[in-house]
């Protein structure tokens, strides 16, 4: 019985085998063609999402957004992962100053791709918090900064910037708190002994933008001698006589006075008290009488002078 069935099956294969082979070929072809259109579901990871902000709002901490989405499509179309991207528009009416903006990403926010449909966004990716702030512009003062030092005998007294202020644009909270915009450091050294002008670049504050017309300023730097004063105590008083008039006076030869000198810092700081000469000139008095003479004098160092002497006068009796 089994042999009879096998024989009949073999005969049926041999009979009209060409048409059967052609039918089999088309059946296979139809199967593979149809399988390409059978809808399947998949999860695509790290799909980029672009966020558009309305004028007047700015993201203070912008970061790339990538999400995992569920998609449906044919096997062939599911291979085109790189073509899918999303785009979400921030709505200004939903913004509340001082609070994070809640961005909701929905399936319809993704650009259509032929044969692919986004059916959902994974729960952990569907909502993002954005640090949005209102954008503002205001004028902020410019401040010059310096590097290096002048010699001890000179001092920088002023630094005037032109323009004095510049427009700064950025997040409202940062712009409001900004005290000034500083320049790139202006070099100073011991060779600088007089006022000068310098074109200085401005430093862009973090997260803010300086107006395009003001990327640099003109700085006028005022430099003057570093004049200081110092008091010296118990300096011996000296007596001067006029030639041809031998005069003498009655007063203690060891009279001492206090002297305040004035001059460049370096010279005054290193001043030897022996170079200070407070003097009275007996020729300014009247012989035979008591005279109140002014104490004058000099300092034997260039640029240093006597400012005051205490006492300023001394009473003497001049005898011929």
Checking if the pLDDT of 244 tops 50, the result is no
- Read off the pTM: 0.58
Residue (of 96, 121, 99) closest to 110 by Cα position:
121
Residue 310 confidence (pLDDT): 95
227-319 and 135-225 share a CATH fold: yes
Checking if the pLDDT of 246 tops 50, the result is no
Q: Can you tell me the distance from the alpha carbon of 99 to that of 90, in angstroms, rounded to the nearest whole number?
A: 14
Tokens 């062939």 belong to residue: 76
If pLDDT is split at 50, 70 and 90, which confidence band does 320 have?
low
pLDDT in tens, 174-190: 898 899 999 999 999 99
Q: Between 3.40.50.720, 3.40.47.10, 2.170.120.30, 3.40.50.970, what CATH number should domain 227-319 receive?
A: 2.170.120.30
Checking if the pLDDT of 8 tops 80, the result is no
Domain segments of the chain as ranges: 40-130, 135-225, 227-319
- Give the residue-averaged pLDDT of 231-260: 75
pLDDT in tens, 70-127: 988 877 777 777 678 999 999 999 999 889 999 999 999 998 887 788 999 998 899 9
User: Is the model more confident about 247 or about 138?
Assistant: 138
Distance set, CA 181 to CA 165, 186, 201 (Å): 8, 14, 11
Query: Does the 135-225 domain belong in CATH 2.170.120.40?
Result: yes
- Give the residue-averaged pLDDT of 231-236: 95
- Give the residue-averaged pLDDT of 131-156: 93
Residue 315 confidence (pLDDT): 86
Checking if the pLDDT of 6 tops 80, the result is no
Give CA 45 to chain center in angstroms. Answer: 38
- Give the residue-averaged pLDDT of 52-66: 91
Around 203, how many Cα atoms within 13 Å sit in the side-chain half-sphere? 13
Q: Can you tell me the distance from the alpha carbon of 229 to that of 306, in angstroms, rounded to the nearest whole number?
A: 10
Residue 90 confidence (pLDDT): 95
Residue 40 confidence (pLDDT): 80
How would you label 118-157 residue by residue, b for 16+ Cβ within 10 Å and e otherwise?
Answer: beebeeebbebebebbebbeeebebebebeeebbebbebe
**CATH architecture of the domain with range 40-130:** Beta Complex (2.170)
If pLDDT is split at 50, 70 and 90, which confidence band does 157 have?
very high
Q: Which helix (H) or strand (E) holds 222?
A: strand 216-225
Residue 281 CB neighbour total at 10 angstroms: 16
């Amino acid at each position: 019985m089994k042999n009879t069935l096998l024989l009949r099956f073999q005969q049926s294969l041999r009979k009209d085998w060409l048409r059967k082979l052609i039918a089999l070929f088309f059946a296979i072809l139809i199967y593979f063609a149809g399988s390409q259109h059978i809808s399947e579901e998949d999860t695509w990871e790290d799909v980029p999402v672009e966020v558009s902000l309305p004028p007047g709002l700015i993201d203070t901490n912008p970061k790339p957004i990538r999400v995992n989405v569920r998609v449906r499509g044919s096997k062939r179309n599911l291979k085109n992962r790189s073509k899918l991207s999303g785009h979400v528009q921030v709505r200004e009416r939903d913004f509340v100053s001082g609070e994070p903006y809640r961005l909701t990403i929905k399936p319809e926010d993704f650009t259509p791709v032929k044969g692919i449909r986004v059916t959902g966004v994974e729960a952990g990716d569907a909502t993002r918090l954005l640090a949005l702030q209102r954008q503002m512009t205001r004028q902020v003062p410019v401040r010059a900064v310096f590097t290096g030092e002048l010699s001890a005998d000179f001092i920088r007294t002023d630094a005037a910037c032109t323009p004095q202020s510049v427009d700064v644009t950025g997040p409202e909270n940062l712009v409001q708190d900004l005290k000034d915009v500083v320049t790139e450091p202006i070099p100073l050294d011991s060779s600088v002994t007089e006022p000068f002008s310098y074109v200085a670049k401005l430093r862009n504050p973090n997260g803010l933008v300086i107006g395009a017309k003001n990327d640099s300023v003109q700085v006028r730097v005022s430099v003057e001698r570093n004049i200081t004063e110092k008091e010296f105590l118990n300096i011996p008083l000296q007596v001067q006589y006029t030639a041809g008039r031998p005069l003498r006076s009655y007063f203690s030869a060891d009279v001492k006075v206090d002297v305040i000198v004035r001059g460049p810092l370096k010279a005054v700081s290193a001043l030897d008290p022996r170079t200070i000469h407070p003097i009275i000139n007996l020729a300014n008095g009247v012989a035979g009488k008591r005279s109140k003479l002014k104490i004058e004098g000099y300092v034997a160092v260039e640029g240093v002078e006597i400012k005051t002497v205490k006492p300023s006068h001394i009473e003497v009796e001049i005898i011929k």
